[in-house]
Structure 1
């Protein structure tokens, strides 16, 4: 079976976060330094992506850019993780 995962990574100070979207299951995972900090399945995963990448026409297959928006939105949440010095 082919791998149907779209993933992106981004650095926030010394923290590396990654978002993975599995198109075959609709699962969305967000990881911080390799540890899963959030995971959702449809319809919640779709709502998360749609709210972060509202102007996108992603349908059921978000682009890497859409997932970057998801990471930025997750990062802005008060429950996310402490901001590193120099983070905006």
Structure 2
């Protein structure tokens, strides 16, 4: 469920917290972060670009979380764009 009344700024603050979570390799954190990123990206194109940029920046950690986000979130968002 996406609350359309919230502004983008309400979601941008999470991008300050996400890098700390991305360093972890906990399965539940992977699932939670990927779901949060997908929901944020579905709001609009501007936030979608921020999510994709975040995933690109997480790749420098070279851990399971980076691979998970690339496979589960970026793949879905990129393929969704191509279908539209």
| Common fold by TM > 0.5 | no
Give 1 or 2: higher strand fraction.
Answer: 1
* TM-score between both structures, scaled by the size of structure 1: 0.30
* TM-score between both structures, scaled by the size of structure 2: 0.31
